[in-house]
Each structure stands twice: as structure tokens, then as C-alpha cells.
Structure 1
């Protein structure tokens, strides 16, 4: 297969989506040009320039590193269309109006290079209708590509071919979106709103309908339909406010305009409450009011009956919250259906409505059931897709209950469930997903996963309930396993160390595991990769040292009893650094405190773009003591090369003293936690593959660990300079007295202690300073307050 290399992307339209898609291309180091209309006054590219400025202010940040905004090239449709000739991929992202899009296409078509892919980022317009008027040649290179908002963070991209799109165009684009931009691609059919918005907006409309029927308020509904159901914490109404009620209204209108023959058509009418809010200009978060309104520090909710905002914050009933905590999905669904509590009946109703809908529409909206599950997980933040939920809760029993409700007139329409739901094959499988693939209603067979080469980079692909796909907790060959770690391999030359602790915290068992893994890797393998099975599903790399497990030791023997544990952690990190085979840390999610120190001692790091890295110990009244400050001193001395070391030390000191955490892997590079030659991976499912490739390459290139060098420190001079800055922060009220004490201790350690400027020390000298300060702080009442506060509430105590 020939390479498909995207040398440059053009994004047409600098609105919310267009600008953020451009930003994400820049994150991935893909040159991009952002187009919009020429401004009527001021600079001709003013619209685009304003959009780029706005990218720097948005939260969550579209850019991994704000400075990279400078790489977005600016253009307008009047002067710069020639630029399009140098673009391999052109993504149109203007407002959702067919006539406006067609006008723009006429303007740009003559400038599109003969091999370029042309795509529309539409959330629901017909891709075939958009392609009307193109010549056959351009039609064959046109498709829909639907990013979800915000594009950097939402994993889903829907790819929609037209009847004329060449298959290899879609294959090439899927490869680019998956590896370069890090997306989960689902191919959708050209039906209104495609898959995720079709099912997701139906689900929201059904929820609004059932909430009114059962008399539930918006805050209670959001509590019931958020985290408790394993969905986005914003629930239903808050999600609508975030998306924008006008945007939601637009997506609903697409359904009204194009789905007149759908038996669920009555549900697509714009809810009266939504229409009133939009008419009043209350469009949700962007206008400050929607279903919710922020008044001072309080969040008020809309009362449907009066149309006024009233105090919010009501939660689910205790009995329903208890039902939702039931681990067995079969028991949970049965309890919801049989309960007389209106909240439980409401939950059963919204599950039933979605099951009814996806079964009825599977043949027309998706190639197979797996695509609906992934679309809802990746596009709407559901932990478990709707078909998976049905299958896990008992396929046959649920089908019988849904049928019963339809016949009793309780469902949203009287269309019967399709025959395949009760078909021997699906029933025998216990549902739509099995080891052969996922059921396709249009083909009446199981459809296997895509075999595109890009998926060979994913050692463990996203699984669905019932598919029997191997996962990183059980696959491969186990060398050693206990409750803390698993040491294993995939029958090749790289050993893998995975932590099993909650949030992958580092306790005595994990430290033992590090020693075991290093010894095994040095004896029988080319390298060691530290990787965790939930890396792609939003897990943590490591949330740091396991304070909870240290508590009994502390209670029994005081701070002194902890000292050997700290020394063992320091020594384990040193053992990683000086291992005779390369150690590669495969980082995704949180890498805090000890987790940050661990990755700093690896020979190389392969980090997901969504890596949040920092030394945060001051939050619990401690200082980093796993070698993180020692590494800061070593690296500053190496970077200084004879110049003033302090200049290279200031950022590391400030980051540790203020517990700063990177908002991306790109920012972690800027902060010095990742080095410039570390690898940033955009698709977390590719993390293990890339880490193993790096480890093997280092070994094959003749890897040797660094020599144990001595290095110069800034001593008393460095301490005094940093202390002056701390005094200003304390006297200005920016930090507390205890923060000042912690800052002073960190300053002393990174400066190498009470020695002359330029003194030469070894690593052990600084490690000893770290350990001594850590033990001293454990005895401090303010530190103990912070530790207990964090353990009890999970939030830092400011004292």
C-alpha cells in the first residue's frame, strides 16, 4: 500500500469548530491554513486572526501549547485561494446551511489539487446532497468527516462516504484521523445526523419527554443521567446548555425536516421549553442562561411550570442511587423496572426508549451494532454503549420487557421491535456482539472489525461487551503477578510492567515489582515498558505514592519508620535509570508526584497528548522525595554547560513549589517533565505499540545506561536567590506560611544544600536531602492536616 501523507490541511471556516480543528492539526504538527471571509473593516484576515486569539483563551484548551497558535496560517476566500492547491486535505466547517456550503464549494472547487481529499465537517446534512454539482472526479474524493466538540478531547470522528466516494479515499482518511489526530473512527451511513447525534439527540428528547411525564426537575434528571449511569457528569440538561440550545435545536430541526416517515417522528418535535428558551435568547452556557443560570456563586435551575429560575442542587433519591450502585447489570435493570419509585421508572423508561430506537433503526443508520456503541461512547461520553448495556442486562428478558411496554402503549411509539431481535442467532449469542463480530441488521450477519493496516498499531483495540477481545489485563504471557503488579510479555523481546493498584499508586508492592521487572528484563529481554491496561480508557499513569498504605507504618513507628520506604522508592527509581536495558514509560492521563518522578527516571518516555504531569506533593504538605528534585538539579547542571545553573533551575523549582501540572504532553515538554526527544502519541490505543518500538530501537542501537556522574550545584547562592522570590510571594499573600516552608525546603534541595556555589556533588547527596526533608515534614502538624484532608475529601487543604 502506498503512503498517504498529509503535508498540509486547509480548514474552511474559522468558527468554533473550524478553528479548533485547525488547532488540533497544529497540536499534531500538521501544517494548517485557516480560511474565512475577508473582514469588512480592519485587517482583511481579521476574522481568522480573532478566531486564533480566541483559541488561546478557551477552556478546555484546544491547543496543547498556546504558543503553537502562531503556526496556524491565515487566509481569506478573496486573496488566498491559490494556497488550496498545496493542500492534501481540505475540511469545510462553515455554518450548517446547504446553500452557503454550495456557494463556497463553487468558489473553491477550481483550486482543489487533483489528489486532495475534500471533506465537509457537518453534523447532519446529507453528504450526497452536498456533493451535488461537483464533477465526477471531485465527487469521488468528497466525503463527510464529523468531528465532535471539543475536537481535541472528543475521541469520535464519523466518516461518511457518498455513493461516489472512492473506497481508498475513506481508508486513507481513516488512517490519518486514527494515528495522526488520535481519533476513534466510526463509518456512518448518509442518514440525517449520522449515528451519534441521531441516537444521542433522540435520547435527550426522550429524556426530556419522560422527565416531564414523571414530574422530575432538571437537576434531579442530571444527577440520575450523569456519572451514576456511567455517562458524562453533565447529565442531560447541563450537556444541552454546554452544546448550545440553538445548536441542539438545529440538530432536532434536521430530524424534523428529513424524517417524516420515521415512526418516532412525534418525538422529534422541539420541546416547548427548549423553543421558549431559544426565543428568549437563553442559549445555554454561552449566553449565561439556559436550563441553568449562574447567579453569583449559585447555580439555579429552570422550573418548567413557572418558567422562572429557582434554587437547584437536588439529587437522586437514596433508594434509586442504591439500585444504580448494584454491580450486576441484570439485577440493576430488573430493580429499576420493578421499582415503584418514579425516578426508577423514569430510568427504565429512558433505557427502554433507546433500546427500542436503536433496534428499530439499526439497519438504516449503521453498518453494525458495534458502530452505534462506539459512537455513543466516544461522542457522548458513555462508559458503555446502548447495545452493550442491553446485552449485559440479559438480551432476551429486556427484549420481552420492551415488547410488553410497546404493546401496553407505554413506549414512545407503537412500532414493533424488528424480528431479528428475537432471531435464534442473536438470542443464542445472548446479544449482538460475539467473538465473530457485531450484528448487522442490513446484512443479517456478524461484521468483523476493520482490518486496515492502521489497526495493527493497536495492541488492544477498544472492546465491546461480549466480543471476547483480548485485553491488557489478561492477554500475553505472565512472568509474575500479585495484587500490586503484573509483569508479562506478548511473546516477543520486550517485557511489560503494569500496575494493578487504584489510580496506579506506588506502594511497597509496586516498588518490589519494579525491582523484579528490571531483573527479568536485564536477563531475558531487550527492554522494559511500563504501561497500564486502562491507558486508552482514561486511566492514570500513576497518581503518585500510596499514602494510605504508609499510614499503618507511620502509626506504628512514626516518621522514622517511613524513612526506609522512601529510600527504597528512591533506589527503585535509580535502578530504572541505570538499568542495563532501556526502560520506556508509556504515559497517559495523570502522572502526579511519584508518578511524575517515575517517568523522569525512565530512559525514554512515550506520552499520550492527554498527559497531565507534575510534582504536586506540596498539596499534601510534603516535598517530592522520589528523586524528582534530584533530577531537576542534575538536568539544570547538564543544560547549563558552565553557564549560571540557576537560570536552568528556576522553572523546575517554580513548577514543584506551586504544584503546577501540565495541561498536555506538549506543555509537559515545555515544563521540562518530558524532553524534546520524547515521543508524543495522539491515539492512546497506539501507546503500547510505539513504546515497544522505541525500546527495541534503543536496544538495537546499542543502548547503554548513563554513567553515574557528579554535577555542580548552586548551593547557598541559589538558595538565597530563590528565597527572595518566596519572601515576596509570602508577603504578598500568594502563599501561606506552610507553603513558604515547603518552598524553602525545595529551594535547599534543588540548590544542593548548604554548600558553596559551584560545589560538585553526586546524586545520592541530593537524594539524602530529599529524604531528610520529607521525614521532617511528616512530623509537622500542618502537613498532617493536609494529608488527612486529602485522604478524607480528595481535595487539597490550604493551611
Structure 2
């Protein structure tokens, strides 16, 4: 793996600054350089700050953009700004130089000529181009320079988009390609696809083609962008932003540039015709209707008497009108599909308008991908990964082909007069009917030349679905499974809807504790769903509350608390592996663990106040323990600030913006780890569990917790009262805050009293039961279930 401790990014535009931001996220000191502004006064020409103005503007923008390009504001301290005149020599001090300037071949060539004059052998140099030829950029450079040069195409925004296309040049050292691939996967957290030096590489080549044929289909069927987006979003396994909302986000001028890059660099007349920018698109660009950045594109947000409204463009009149969804039987049928394959079949094999649209787009993208496979990629896996990681498709083109049925779809394509690519003909001639096959628990993909090739998983990928197929399930129920992940480590996987915690999960936790204690070296708690856990089963709790079934709620809370205690005091190490949304009960599952190994993109928060409650599974107690670590119980002055931190974090439902940010709230401790590549998360968590086991693990002992008592309770109530009087919180918010303060203060005891964990759990449970009986709390719960956002009542 390439050892990169210091980097430089040249070009502080949107992409350049964001790349620098992500390098800082992972701890790499980075120079961010841009040109000296051309409009400086004579006085400013002597001022370094003025000369660095463009680079500084790029860095400053990182603090304003949403979602944030930074894991935390503090990481920006690793970015040092400069300019390409005063600081150019600094490039000789770094391990990696990333060029991210304007997409102009001559400007890039001139820059690399300058770079080579200060470059030292061993420094890796790359271009973030989205499609310009890698080989043409370094024509005239030395062979040694070319050996260290390659394309590294990040997708925007670099922090969140998984795909990194690496494009070797003719002379690039293969060892450097592999070392950069390993670095990108391990340190930057990327999914890497190796591409050939062809126009727009893989993802943008196929993605742009797909957008172009969608535009054409919209015009042919007489639809609007909003109607098309009704079909090309989640119904087809694509992002919610579908086609035209995505184009607005990307920027129509940027998109036109990408189209033109293919148009100008391919020779096939038919392919060229597809990439020709349509009159509609050109007219919008001429009008400066470029999408979100100019306030209007295919959609436009306007203020009305009812508030903000989003209008859609009528392609025929170029006027904006209220949005409308395409209504079609096939869309209704797709919604009822149990799997994405069911959804796709319902759409593409239907003859209504939605079906015709879906079939036309799908057919053309599949044929194009197969036809150009050998030209642009090394195998079908690379194309599928590029589209999933770069465009957030649920299935890549060849996976999609398998999902709708290769034989059936090809038969229809032939009927419609399409030429079937040789790759597909070879597949069917072999007697196989899908591009991917599972054999003996391993996946094989159909390869160029009619060969089958095993799809190799990264050594740090633990695939729970595959392990289940291999019979590694120890025990399962409807909410969770206990799986043997090797080396005598078990994994507790939640698979209830949204991984919400209910009776089945608690039952499985209790079983896992006994099983691991008897037969395993450690326990990892993790899964591979979109999110780790969104909390407790809110619907179940609300139904019991509306039925006044207080004994049942009391029992559920007791059982949850007891299960969390079992995890804390298990005689084998427990490692929680959270990622994505880790809220409420999801956090409470993590807090008792001996270690947390969190994905970098983990959003942790005890958010129960949003539904009118406080944490009920030990979250208050666990947070107090964390904040009280190292505090002298006799030092009453030191106790209150610690409790205030907990009170604010829970009372304001603070959610971390990343795993790094979670340290600020002590959801993560200094001993807990962070994994940037989520695909490696379970592997890393397993290694932590093994490490603890090998070091002679001993479970923690019960602790006595110092509390602030009546004095601290009064102070917290006073702070909440001031918020109420200032109009910042409602009466019900105040009631919740008082309940929370009473629990965190340890109730009516003297300041500095040492209390047991069970004592705090009892206070917590009583407060929880009291609040869930409140009508306004039940209103909040109902609203959250219906709308997915908190109600302020």
C-alpha cells in the first residue's frame, strides 16, 4: 500500500477543495494550491493572504457546504493554503500530487511540465480528470515521471461517493497502480475500479449514455421530467433523485461538457449521435438554467402562499408548471414487488407508458454496456461496480440483466431488430442464462472470451449473506441472527425492519450472550443493512401505550436494560460495529460494548426526546459512566460540568456528523476505532475482538457512579426553564427535560453520592414509563411514524 502522509491538491475549485477536505478527514496533511488572483492591486501583490485568496476561498467553502465535506471542523487544520507561484516548490515535499484544475488538455499539459521541474522520483502524480486522456496529458514528460503518473477520478462529493476510478497510463508502473488501489481502499475508504484510458472512462461513459437515452425517451413519449423521474428513481433501483433532479444537482453545464467529451472523441456515427447535446438541453444552458446552482433547471423552487413549491419544466413550452407523477399500472405492480428483480420485471415487461419508458432505457443501457465492455473495462464486474458506486444504482447493468432474465429480454430485443453483442451471444451459446453464477458458495462472472472468472472479494470483506448460504448461522429468529464469522468469533446481526429493536432482537441478544460465553472467543454486533439501527420498535411501544398496557411496557424496558447489562458484563469481549444511522436504542446497544469499531460515516445520537421520551435501555447511565471516567467523586465542582454535557447531548438530541465527531459527545472513546471503508468494518471489528481475547480479556466490574443530586437537578431545571421562558422549547419539552435532569442527577440525593448502576436504571425506567403515558408524547410518536420527522408540540 502506498504510504502517503503528505499530499498536495492543485486547484481549489469545488472538486479540488473537497478532495483536500477528504484527505484531511483521513489524517493526511495537505497543501491546497491555486493561482494568484489576476485582479490584485499593487499593494495586494505583496500580501500573501491576498495572493492565497482563491485557495483560501476553496478551504472556507468546506465549512459552508451541506452535506459537510469534513468529518469535523477540526480536520481542516490539516489543510494549508498556498498559490502556484510562491508555494510551487512545496510540491517536492509531498508523497502525492493531485491535479484538479480546469478540464483543458493544454492547461493540464503545461502544469505537468512545471510539476516535473520540482518533482522528485517516488512522488505519485495524478489527475482528477473526469474524462480527458491520461496518456495525452503527459506527452513530452520523462519516462520516470510517466511511471508515477495515473488518473484518479473522484466522484462528487468525495467524502460520500464511494467510487474512485483509477486509470493507468501506458507507462504507469503496475506496482504503483496496485499500491494506490490498496491505499484508496484502505485509507480513503473507496471502492476502486481500474479503467482504461477511454473517453469518460466507465461510470460517466455509461451513466451519460443512460441520461442521453432517457432524455430522448422523454421527448419521444411526450413526458415531462417529473413524470420520467416517477419511473427512473427507486422503482428502477436508482437514487430518489432519479434522472432530472440528479442532472440539476450535477449542473447542466457540467453535464454538457461530459457529453461533448465523448461526442468529440468517439468515431462510431451512431454512438456520436447519442451523445450530441439535444436542442432542449442547449437552450437551457444558453438561458443559464443550469440546475440547483442557478435556482432553476428541470425543476424550479418558488415561494407561494402555501410556502415553498417545486415546479417542473414543460419541455414543449419551456415554462414551469406544478409537478405531477406518472400514473401507470406497472408502477403500482412494481411497488408490490418483494425484490428489486420483481419490481424491474413488472416495469420493463409492461406495455403502459411507464413500462415503455423503463424498457427503452434499460434495453439501450444493457446493450451499450455489453457492446463496449472490452473497450472501456476489464470485466463485467468493473462496469457493475462503477455504476453502483458512482451513480448509486442498486444493480449494475449486468446484474440488472440477470434480474430481468437474459433469455427473455434478449428474445424481445431480437424481435425489435436489435443487434445482440457477442458477449451476450457467447453466454447463451454456453447454455448459461445469467452473467453471474454461484458455485460452492462463491460467485463467478462471465468473462470476455466466454470464460468464467471468480469474483474475488477483498480479504477484509466479511459477507454475511454468503456466510448464511454456507450454513454458518448458529441461530436465528425473525429479528436477528447469530453467525459464525470464523476464528471463534460470532456476529450478532439485526435484520428486523430498519433494524429496530424489539422482543426478537432482545431474545437473540440473550441467546448470543450464553452461546458466546460457552463456545466462542468474542462477539461482534453488526450488520450490512443501509443503517446499523434506528432505535426501538416505536410502533410496538405506541400500541402498548395506547392500550394502557403499562406492565408490558415496563417488562420490555426491563428486558432491554437487562440484555444491555448482559453485554456489558459478558465474560468474552464484545465489539459493536455501528455505521450510518445509529440512533436511540442503536446507540444503547453500542455503549455497553468493550470496544466500538465505527464506520467513518456513523451518525450516532440518543434522540428519544424527539418522540417525547428519554433513553430507556441504559443510555443515560452509560453516558454518565463515560463522562465521569477520571473525575474525582469528591470534587463536586468537576461533577456538574460533566453531567451538563450529558444533559445537553441527550436533551438536544445531538447526532454526530461522523464517527470522528461522535468522539466529541463521548459516544466513542479514545480507545474505540474508526474504519473509513465500510466494507471492511466487520473484519476490523473482528480483529479488535480477537486482539482483546488474545490479551487475556477480563470483563469490567460494576461501578459506583457519583451523581450531582438535588443541587445539580435544580441547576439543570433552571437551565431548561430559561429556554422555556425564552421561547426556545415548549412546555412538553420542559417536562421531558425535567425528567431527564432528575435521572442524570441521581434523584433526590445529596451531591456527590455514589449510586449503583441498577439505581440509575430504575430511575430511567420510571421516567420512561411516565413520559410514554403522556398524550403529547404519544402524539410525537405517532407523528414520527407517519412523517419520519419530529413534532414540536
For normalisation by structure 1, the TM-score amounts to 0.93
Structure 1 residues 660-681: Cα deviation after superposition (integer angstroms, max 9, x where no partner): 2112111111122111221110
Of the structure 1 ranges 365-374 and 243-252, higher mean CA displacement relative to structure 2 is found in 365-374
For the structure 1 residues 154 and 338, does the alpha-carbon distance in structure 2 shift closer, same or farther, using more than 3 Å as the test?
A: closer
The aligned residue for residue 773 of structure 1 is 767
CA contact (8 A) 2:542 2:778 kept: no
Is it true that 1:97 corresponds to 2:108 in the alignment?
no
Equivalent residue for 1:526?
Answer: 521
Residue 306 (1) aligns with residue 317 (2): yes
Give the Cα separation in 1 of the matches to 2:348 and 2:167. 37
Which segment drifts farther, 693-702 or 633-642? 633-642
Please name the residue that 1:413 is paired with: none
Could you tell me how far apart the structure 1 residues matched to 2:459 and 2:548 are?
52
Contact 2:7–2:95 (8 Å) recurs in 1? yes
Q: In the alignment, does 2:263 pair up with 1:280? A: no
Aligned-partner Cα distance in 1 for 2:118–2:492: 52
* Aligned match of 1:607: 598
Give the CA deviation at 1:110: 2.0
- The answer (yes or no) to whether the contact 1:588–1:608 under 8 Å persists in 2 is yes
Written as runs of structure 1 = structure 2, the 5 A alignment for 1:147-162 is 147-162=154-169
- State the distance in 2 between where 1:780 and 1:328 align: 40
Work out the CA distance in 1 between the residues paired with 2:291 and 2:693: 55
TM-fit CA distance, 1:336:
3.9
What are the equivalent positions in structure 2 for 1:372-771 lying under 5 Å apart? 372-406=383-417, 416-423=419-426, 428-435=431-438, 437-441=444-448, 443-449=449-455, 455-460=458-463, 471-475=466-470, 477-534=472-529, 539-550=530-541, 553-554=544-545, 558-641=549-632, 642=635, 643-771=637-765
Give the Cα separation in 1 of the matches to 2:349 and 2:378: 34
- Distance in 1, Cα, partners of 2:568 & 2:309: 50
- State how far apart, in whole Å, the 1-side matches of 2:510 and 2:348 are: 51
What is the distance in 2 between the residues matched to 1:585 and 1:424?
A: 43
Distance apart, 1:183 and its partner CA = 0.6
Residues 396 and 430 in structure 1, CA contact (< 8 A), matched pair in contact too: yes
Question: Do 2:467 and 2:473's aligned partners in 1 also have CA atoms closer than 8 Å?
Answer: no
- The answer on 1:364 being equivalent to 2:356 is no
Kindly provide the CA deviation profile for residues 370-391 of structure 1, in whole angstroms up to 9, marking residues without a partner as x. Answer: 1111111110011111111111
* Partner-residue secondary structure (3-state), 2:67: coil
Distance 1:286 1:555 in 2: 47
> Take 2:501 and 2:257, find their aligned partners in 1: how far apart are those partners?
49
Q: Secondary structure at the match of 2:97?
A: strand
Classify 1:333/1:548 alpha carbon distance in 2 versus 1 (closer, same or farther; 3 Å). closer
The 2-side partners of 1:697 and 1:176 are apart by 24
1:182 aligns with 2:192: no
From the superposition, tell whether residues 493 and 235 of structure 1 become closer, same or farther in structure 2 (CA, over 3 Å). Answer: same
1:328 to 1:766, Cα distance in 2 relative to 1, 3 A? closer
Shift of 1:337: 5.0
1:794 Cα deviation from its structure 2 partner: 2.9
Inter-partner Cα distance in structure 1 for 2:127 and 2:154? 10
Q: Give the C-alpha shift of residue 399 in structure 1.
A: 1.2
Query: Does the residue aligned with 1:383 lie in a helix, a strand or coil?
Result: coil
Which of 19, 22, 25 is the equivalent residue of 2:20? 22
Deviation larger for 627-636 or 114-123: 627-636
Consecutive unaligned residues of structure 1, counting only runs of 5 or more, are: 408-415, 462-469
Q: Any conservation in 1 of the 2:580–2:602 contact (CA below 8 Å)?
A: yes
Task: Give me the whole-angstrom Cα distance separating, in 2, the residues matched to 1:329 and 1:714.
Answer: 54
1:389-411 deviation per Cα after TM superposition (whole angstroms, max 9, x unaligned)? 1112111121121222235xxxx
Distance 2:341 2:695 in 1: 54
The Cα of 1:188 is off from its aligned counterpart by 0.9
Deviation at 1:476, TM superposition (A): 5.7
Q: Retained in 1: the 8 A contact 2:27–2:78?
A: no
Q: Deviations over 1:194-242 (max 9, x none)?
A: 0100000110010010011001111111121112211111111110110
Distance in 1 separating the partners of 2:429 and 2:31: 49
- Is contact 2:468-2:483 (8 Å) kept? no
Whole-angstrom CA distance in 1 between matches of 2:64 and 2:429:
50
TM-aligned CA deviation for residue 423 of structure 1: 2.1
- Alpha-carbon distance, 1:419 to partner: 2.8
Cα separation, partners in 2 of 1:444 and 1:263, compared to 1, 3 Å:
farther
Aligned to 1:353: 364
Equivalent in the alignment of 2:8: 10
Unpaired runs of 5+ residues, structure 2, are none
C-alpha RMSD over aligned residues: 1.9
Deviations 1:83-128 (A, max 9, x none): 2222222111111111111111111112222112111111011111
SS of alignment partner, residue 132 of structure 2: coil
- The whole-number CA distance in structure 2 between the counterparts of 1:348 and 1:106 is 48
Q: Could you tell me which of 331, 353, 358 is aligned with 1:321? A: 331
Partner residue, 1:465: none
Please say if residues 13 and 93 of structure 1, whose CA atoms lie closer than 8 Å, have aligned partners that are also in contact: yes
Within the candidate set 246, 249, 262, 2:256 is matched to 249
SS at match of 1:310: strand
Distance 1:426 1:753, change over 3 A: farther
Q: Secondary structure at the match of 2:629?
A: helix
1:121-132 equivalences under 5 Å are 121-132=128-139
Contact persistence 2:582–2:602 (CA under 8 A)? yes
User: What is the CA-CA distance between 1:473 and the residue it aligns to?
Assistant: 4.2
CA displacement 1:237-273 (0-9 Å, x = unmatched): 1101100111001000101110132532211111111
How many Å separate the matches in 2 of 1:473 and 1:670?
37
Q: Is the CA contact (8 Å cut-off) linking 1:472 and 1:532 kept in structure 2?
A: no
* Structure 2 SS opposite 1:258: coil
Distance change in 2, residues 1:122/1:133 (3 Å):
same
Aligned-pair distance for 1:552?
Answer: 5.6
Contact 1:608-1:687 at 8 Å conserved across structures: yes
| Cα distance between partner residues in 2 of 1:445 and 1:561 | 60
The answer to whether the 8 Å contact 1:88/1:113 transfers is no
Does the 8 Å contact 1:617/1:623 carry over to 2? yes
1:750 positional shift: 1.1
Q: Distance in 1 between matches of 2:16 and 2:341?
A: 43
User: Does the 8 Å contact 2:436/2:446 carry over to 1?
Assistant: yes
User: Counterpart of 1:471 in 2: which secondary structure?
Assistant: helix
Counterpart contact for 1:471–1:533, Cα < 8 Å: no
Per-residue deviation at 1:177?
0.4
Match of 2:93 among 86, 90, 98: 86
2:278 aligned partner = 271
Q: 1:332 to 1:726 in 2, by over 3 A?
A: closer
Tell me the residue number matched to 2:71: 64
Structure-1 separation of matches of 2:9 and 2:749: 57
Q: Deviations over 1:572-631 (max 9, x none)?
A: 111111111110001111111111111011110000011111011111111111111112
- What is the Cα deviation at residue 154 of structure 1? 0.6
Normalising by the residue count of structure 2, what TM-score does the alignment of the two structures yield?
Answer: 0.94
- 1:460 deviation in Å? 2.6
Tell me, yes or no, if the aligned pair for 2:163 and 2:390 is still in contact at 8 Å. Answer: yes
| Secondary structure, aligned partner of 2:367 | helix
Deviations 1:678-717 (A, max 9, x none): 1110111101111011111112122222221212111122
